[in-house]
A and B are shown apart, each in its own frame.
Chain A
Amino acid sequence: MSEMLMAPFIGVFFATAVYLILSKSVIRMLLGITILGNGVNLLIFIMGRVTRDIPPIVPAGLKQPIGDIANPLPQALILTAIVIGFALFTFLLVLGYRAYQELDADNTDNMRLAEPPNPPQPPLSY
């Protein structure tokens, strides 16, 4: 039942993340990426059911536990995903700060060093 309660939350997480990632400011994009990561982690979490009625133990002589257990594997998966996501988020945060210092810009419209605006015309010779 709690999956039903969680599902709209995940939707809100995704919607907020998309809104933030679409903005021009690097810091907002970063927040968006974090929220998206949390939304995805919650999504994987409820993929394994959220319940505590039945313990996730396989009874002797059977291959599967009886009834709907909360599968522990997705919980282990999101632990990994949280750690990796946090590492990458930290890197992007430092990168964003360094870019803010060096390029003096938090607006992606002003970050055009690698792809200069008004590029030169391709050569007409040959």
Chain B
Amino acid sequence: MESQYETELDLELPQAMLERTTSAAEWNLILPVVIALMAGALLAMVRHSRGSQVGFSVLAVLAIIVVEVDLFFQVLETGPVAMTMGNWLPPFGISFIADTMSVSFALAASFVTLIVLIYFQAEIVPREVRHGFYPLVLLLLAGVTGAFLTGDLFNLYVWFEVMLIASFGLLIIGGRKMQLDAAIKYGFLNFLATTFFLVGLGYMYGLTGTLNMADIALVVGHADPAPMTAVAALFLLAFGMKAAAFPVNAWLPASYHTPDAAVSALFGGLLTKVGVYALLRIMIALMPASRELFDPLLTGIAVLTLILAPMGAIAQTNLRRAIGFFVIGGIGAVFAGMAVANVLGIAGAVFYAFHSMLTMTAFYLVAGLVERVTQATDTRQMGGVYAADSLISILFIILVVAAAGLPPFLGFWPKMLIVEATISQSDWILMSAVLINSLLTSIAGSRLWAHIFWRPGREGANSEVPNDHLRQLNSTEKRMALSAVCVLVGVIVMLGLLPNLLFNAANFAAMDLLSPQNYITSTGLELGSNLMGGTQ
């Protein structure tokens, strides 16, 4: 009896399995997540010994960066790389798939994590280290990288939750009252967003019988379009909430300014971008028909987010809350690219999200330095920093210009792509919204700059009286925090001056998203056929 089954299985298996050994390059795909998870677990075990943690976590992140750089150039050369667990063909095996977009986002994420880890040395609080700052950062990075690299919707949900629980920990790690208040709002709204994602995912499985992204892209055309639209709407709501797009952005300005500046920077760089990534992947590559239906909605969200976010920044007096509104404004630009959805628009959206990861992290870090110098969080109590520390003021104005998207800095190129895309579709409303966003962002940013750096004293003070609450950065702050920020801003300026590599990468990413054939075949699936016949 047994032997009979064995022969039957031998006949069946080749159809369900990839019959080749996994190459070393494919192992690269899973390594970043493995390293981050293992390092996080190890750090949690040794969290009482302070000395070893910094070095170990920096080494782990450096290892992740090395692997991802290797992966990046490989993907640019050969197109998407996939690894399916256990070599079971989708939909049976869970895939990890790296295309240009996912691997460049993952690279940016680990790079800003490295910068933040070094910056944190200047504002280190022993209690926070004991409570597990380093393991939480590594687990956050694991969640974010996993979300970027996975090729399975349910796996994406799991990475979202890994990221969410790590971010909860980081958000409340100082234990200040304000942080508890912020964590309640952040926690409830983000948990709600992932629950909506789970609903959509359940319907998706019911309708298509698969959760593998490559497989979904193959069979989505056969599914009933009406319920698929409902699924797409659920995904749009869930990831729109994660990305903090306009009507569902309330959690971001309520929470991002409450933890330490290093944590704000990590959040500003990583969290909303995962929502953006998921939207781009699902709306553009997996469900293009539903995206077309939602086109007016996406345009509306983009216009409102683009215009209202910088207005929020103008109305704020708290420095880091104002920067939170800049983060939201960037999400509007990505939505604008998504609403146009030709190669130019998608390339612009991908490029903008990449730029936003670097720029927003740097912005929060510089804000942290300003708070250290002025010993205040409210711009009304700041002033005269230009005289105290002119380097910080130069860094700040560079970032304002980069965020507003003025040449020659990094933010200009993706905005140019997006504007070009809107012109090619004669979508004048969207085009003016993108340009007005640049104008308003530069107004908000230069007002902040003028109040913090240019004005000699605090608000209401006699203009001749210099601000006497300022202090100089001490040597640790200069050595660690300032130099880390300088490196990050240096990278932003360099990439802005030499954007060719990024232009090419964004183009590749856009083409892979708009016609996902390479993405699908990389997993071993064949176009035009699928194992399960599209039913459950």
Contacts and interface: CB of A to CB of B under 8 A. Distances in A.
A53 interface: no
A47 B202 contact: yes
A77 B447 contact: no
Interface stretch (B164-172, B300-308, B388-396, B486-494): B164-172
Given A40-B198, A111-B184, A126 B451 contact: yes
9 contacts: A21-B188, A40-B202, A64-B532, A87-B165, A91-B168, A98-B180, A103-B177, A112-B181, A122-B317
Determine the interface band of chain A, counting residues with CB < 8 A from chain B: 35 or more
Interface stretch (B21-29, B115-123, B253-261, B410-418): B253-261
Interface in B182-229: 182-185, 187-188, 191-192, 195, 198-199, 201-203, 205-206
Interface string B1-39: 000010010011001000000000000000000000000
Given A43-B199, A47-B202, A114 B164 contact: no
B178 interface: yes
A85 B157 CA distance: 11
For the residues of A in contact with B, the DSSP-based class is helix
Contacts of A103: 177, 180-181
B314 A40 contact: no
A53 to B, nearest CB: 16
B183 A95 contact: yes
B455 interface: yes
Interface in B72-131: none
Top 3 A-B pairs, shortest CB-CB distance: A47-B206, A44-B202, A114-B182
Contact of B181 (A73, A80, A113): A113
B371 interface: no
A48 B294 CA distance: 28
B317 A120 contact: yes
Contact of A125 (B5, B192, B316, B455): B455
Interface of B: 5, 8, 11-12, 15, 154, 157-158, 161, 164-165, 168, 172, 177-178, 180-185, 187-188, 191-192, 195, 198-199, 201-203, 205-206, 253-255, 257-258, 314-317, 378-380, 447, 450-451, 454-455, 459, 531-533, 535-536
Given A26-B184, A114-B255, A123-B379, 7 more contacts: A29-B188, A33-B195, A40-B199, A44-B205, A113-B181, A119-B317, A126-B447
Contacts of B198: 40, 44, 81
Contact of B187 (A61, A81, A92, A126): A92
A28 to B, nearest CB: 11
Instruction: Count chain B CB atoms within 10 A of each CB in A29, A84, A119 and give the residue with the most.
Output: A84
Contacts of B450: 125-126
A44 B200 CA distance: 10
Contacts of A47: 202-203, 205-206
A95 B187 contact: yes
Nearest to A59: B8
Interface string A15-26: 000000100001
A95 B172 contact: yes
Interface in A72-126: 73-74, 77, 80-81, 84-85, 87-88, 91-92, 95-96, 98-99, 102-103, 108, 111-115, 119-120, 122-123, 125-126
A88 B199 contact: no
B95 to A, nearest CB: 16
Nearest to B168: A91
A63 interface: yes
Contact of A91 (B187, B199, B532): B187
A61 B8 contact: yes
Contacts of B165: 87-88, 91
B536 A71 contact: yes
A95 B184 contact: yes
Nearest to A100: B180
B115 to A, nearest CB: 26
Instruction: Count chain B CB atoms within 10 A of each CB in A36, A71, A81, A87 and give the residue with the most.
Output: A81
Contacts of A61: 8, 11-12
Contact of B192 (A21, A80, A126): A21
Contacts of A114: 178, 181-182, 185, 254-255, 257-258
Contacts of A29: 188
A63 B180 CA distance: 53
A36 B258 CA distance: 28
A111 B195 CA distance: 24
Nearest to B378: A120
Nearest to B449: A126
Instruction: Count chain A CB atoms within 10 A of each CB in B184, B201, B203, B459 and give the residue with the most.
Output: B184
Contacts of B447: 123, 126
Contacts of A102: 177, 180
B223 to A, nearest CB: 13
A38 to B, nearest CB: 11
Nearest to B459: A123
A115 B253 contact: yes
